């Protein structure tokens, strides 16, 4: 990949919007850690995103699209390239009329942009008595991030509700795809790297307002009771191995409360690594490796992180 430094002036002339230069990624990450990105750019429309991706591809500049930074870890050294934040039309949502989508008995369709908060969609559906997304209440991050990692909780996953999506490939071409063709599996999809989710359409069902609100309250209470919501984290750090719980393995390995620098295994939930206030990304990565080593030594199971380490660990 080419250095952005040699193309900085060209990018400033090309991009009409605001550019944050050498800005710390800690402000864009729920972990509150991370070194500076060479440039951070907000894209507000598919047309602007198309132009930007084509320019970056032409100049061989590395880039990443982030939602709300709830499932990423940026190294302390920062990132050489461009971080793209989806704003504007990408944060919209709308209920579709039957003519806007293939009708199906008892289904109501909601379309949300890739940069829309998942919580915002869940709250809207709750108010509209639309059932299906109750399990997602309290899951931080954007629609795009939730779909790329097939976010889930309490035995349900976002991918099961996705009817169709609008995508953009790394060259800026827009195309549509059916949800069933996205290759959803546990905490991932199978679309090519650097495929950007522009919007997604969800198939939901009318439900009882009382039952939907009760389910949301139940899940919120479970989160408050079992998860360290008051401390910066990226949610569940490791994927659950087949027929196992990562949190149980970590706790059984005697690591609950163990700390490396300012990073600590939560005493409330062992599958959460939290920033106690002065952690750096290296602390978190080192603690991740220690957990993997200890659990592997004791149980012969290699834990795989859910969190995406942008730019690698070096």
Domain ranges of the chain: 5-86, 90-225, 228-309
Q: Is 142 designated active site? A: no
99 pLDDT band, cuts 50/70/90, is low
311: pLDDT confidence band, cut at 50, 70 and 90?
confident
Fold of 228-309: 3.90.78
DSSP 239: P
pTM, entire model: 0.91
Residues 237-251, mean pLDDT to the nearest whole number: 97
Q: What is the pLDDT of residues 247-280, one digit of tens each?
A: 999 999 999 999 999 999 999 999 999 999 999 9
178 burial level (CB within 10 Å; 0-12, 13-18, 19+)? exposed
pLDDT at 31: 97
- Helix, strand, or coil (residue 199): strand
Q: Which residues make Cβ contacts (< 8 Å) with residue 230, sequence separation at least 6?
A: none
Is 187 marked active-site? yes
Q: pLDDT-derived band of residue 81, with 50, 70 and 90 as boundaries?
A: very high
Is the pLDDT at 314 greater than 70? The verdict is: no
Give me the architecture of the 5-86 domain, per CATH.
Answer: 2-Layer Sandwich (3.30)
Instruction: Report the chain's mean pLDDT, rounded to a whole number.
Output: 94
CA distance 142 to 145: 5
Reply yes or no on whether the pLDDT at 184 is more than 70: yes
CATH number of 90-225: 3.30.465.10
Per annotation, catalytic residue among 68, 187, 233, 266: 187
Domains 90-225 and 228-309 alike in fold: no
106 tagged catalytic: no
Q: Which stretch of DSSP H or E encloses residue 22?
A: strand 19-24
- Of 26, 70, 199, 236, the catalytic one is 236
């Amino acid at each position: 990949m080419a250095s952005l430094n040699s193309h900085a002036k060209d990018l400033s002339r090309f991009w009409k919007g605001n550019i944050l230069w050498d800005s710390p990624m800690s402000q864009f990450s729920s972990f509150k850690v991370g070194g500076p990105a060479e440039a951070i750019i907000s894209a507000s429309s598919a047309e602007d995103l198309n132009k930007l991706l084509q320019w970056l591809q032409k100049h061989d500049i590395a880039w990443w699209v982030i939602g709300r930074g709830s499932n990423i870890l940026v190294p302390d050294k920062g990132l050489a390239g461009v971080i793209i934040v989806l704003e504007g039309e990408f944060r919209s949502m709308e209920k579709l009329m039957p003519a806007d989508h293939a009708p199906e008995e008892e289904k109501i369709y909601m379309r949300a942009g890739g940069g829309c908060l998942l919580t915002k969609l869940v709250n809207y559906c709750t108010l509209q008595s639309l059932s299906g997304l109750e399990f997602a209440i309290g899951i931080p991050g954007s629609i795009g991030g939730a779909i790329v990692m097939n976010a889930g909780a309490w035995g349900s996953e976002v991918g099961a509700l996705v009817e169709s999506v609008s995508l953009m490939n790394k060259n800026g071409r827009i195309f549509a795809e059916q949800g069933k063709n996205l290759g959803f599996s546990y905490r991932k999809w199978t679309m090519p790297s650097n495929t950007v989710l522009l919007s997604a359409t969800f198939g939901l069902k009318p439900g009882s307002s009382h039952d939907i609100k009760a389910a949301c309250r139940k899940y919120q209470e479970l989160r408050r009771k079992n998860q360290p919501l008051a401390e910066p984290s990226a949610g569940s750090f490791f994927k659950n191995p087949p027929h196992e719980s990562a949190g149980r393995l970590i706790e059984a390995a005697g690591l609950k409360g163990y700390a490396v620098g300012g990073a600590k295994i939560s005493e409330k939930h062992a599958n959460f690594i939290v920033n106690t206030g002065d952690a750096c990304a290296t602390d978190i990565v080192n603690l991740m490796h220690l957990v993997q080593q200890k659990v592997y030594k004791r149980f012969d199971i290699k834990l795989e992180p859910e969190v995406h380490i942008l730019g690698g660990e070096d």
